[in-house]
Amino acid sequence: MEENNKWKIWWQKLDEPFRSKRMEMVVTVAIWVMIAAVAIPFLHFGRRVFISDRFIVKGGSMYPTLITGQAIWVRKYIMGPRIYTSFNFNKGEPLKCRRLPGFRKIRTGDIAVFNSPEGWNRQDRITFEINYVYAKRCLGAPGDTIGTMNSHYYSSGNQLTGIPEERENQLRLLPDSTLRKNWVLDAGYFAEEQQNWTIKDFGPIVVPTKGMTIVLDSINTAHYAKVIEYEVGVRPVWTDGRTLFNGRQVSQYSFRENYCFFVGDNLVDSRDCRYFGFVPEDFVVGIIKVPRNLERSLRQGLRANKRKR
């Protein structure tokens, strides 16, 4: 009994400093500081993964909509955030992820950040590199028919693509000799149309969508060879009037994934899908929020240019 009383007396003495209101407040603040120190990093990481992330624009491919050095917020929740199912990002490793439910799919006119399909400097096939990203405008969502005619870019997804008219006019007025000198005239390398397609005139071509089936004739085999190789690991070859997969003849193909087609608003100075082809939808990081005042100023500028002409 005496032993228990000793422990009780000792505990009361130990607890005495904490009985004052001031000390209680200090302890409470200390506890909340520790909770915040643990929670804030998790909240910050969670925001970047599930809600939005910040990027800095480099280069002038989206001028005048986006300029070099501008900070942009990529909203991942719209399409749904990507959750990696494999963290092996070594050279040559494919992207493995699942996309959580979002509010909508990507649309024609959206500006998005996406991983370049030319990762690890592989221009001959689609490859993934985690920190190699572009910011461009979506000309064609999965299933859209896209192209350009006399420097006017069009999409079946939306009559208004969002590409500034002044950029199309600039492209239209530049002579082919100037564009060819700067190595930007030819478009169609991804579709084996080097001699026929330019950034002033190409297409029409359908952006692949999951479940879409095509006949593997000479044209489709050339247009979609990189996409098919990305999905099945074998590049189709057109030879002797038929399409072969590792020597086996195949007459049609059904796509397994969705794809997008992106271009830069600065049409004469943008490395985009006109040169490297379709982008897997899983490569899209998220959609950019363009400030309303910027959109309004661009529209006012376009109207002013029309009045001048």
Q: What is the pLDDT of residue 119?
A: 87
Q: How far apart are CA 142 and CA 159, in angstroms?
A: 16
Residue 112: what are its φ and ψ, rounded to 5°?
Answer: -135, 160
Q: How far apart are CA 77 and CA 75, in angstroms?
A: 6
Give CA 114 to chain center in angstroms.
2
Interstrand relation of 202-206 and 52-56 (parallel, antiparallel or unpaired): unpaired
Q: What is the pLDDT of residues 214-243, one digit of tens each?
A: 999 999 999 999 999 999 999 999 998 999
| Homologous superfamily of domain range 57-166+260-308 | Umud Fragment, subunit A (2.10.109.10)
Q: How far apart are CA 14 and CA 39, in angstroms?
A: 31
Q: What is the pLDDT of residue 18?
A: 52
Q: Is 38 left (phi over 0), alpha (psi -120 to 50) or beta?
A: alpha
**Which residues of the chain are in CATH 2.10.109.10 domains?**
57-166+260-308
Predicted TM-score of the model (pTM): 0.82
Residues 6+ apart with CB under 8 A from 47: 53
DSSP of 148-198, one letter per residue?
Answer: EETTEEEETT-S-----HHHHHHHHHS-HHHHHHTT-SB--GGGT-TTT-B
Q: At 246, list the tokens.
A: 């590792």
Give me the helix-helix angle, 165-173 and 292-308, nearest 10°: 50
Helices (H), the chain: 2-15, 21-46, 165-173, 176-181, 218-223, 225-232, 273-276, 292-308
Low-confidence residues of the chain: pLDDT under 70? 1-24, 26-27, 29-32, 35-50, 291-309
C-alpha pair distances (Å), 297 with each of 64, 153, 166, 290, 303:
10, 22, 13, 12, 10
Name residue 35's amino acid: I
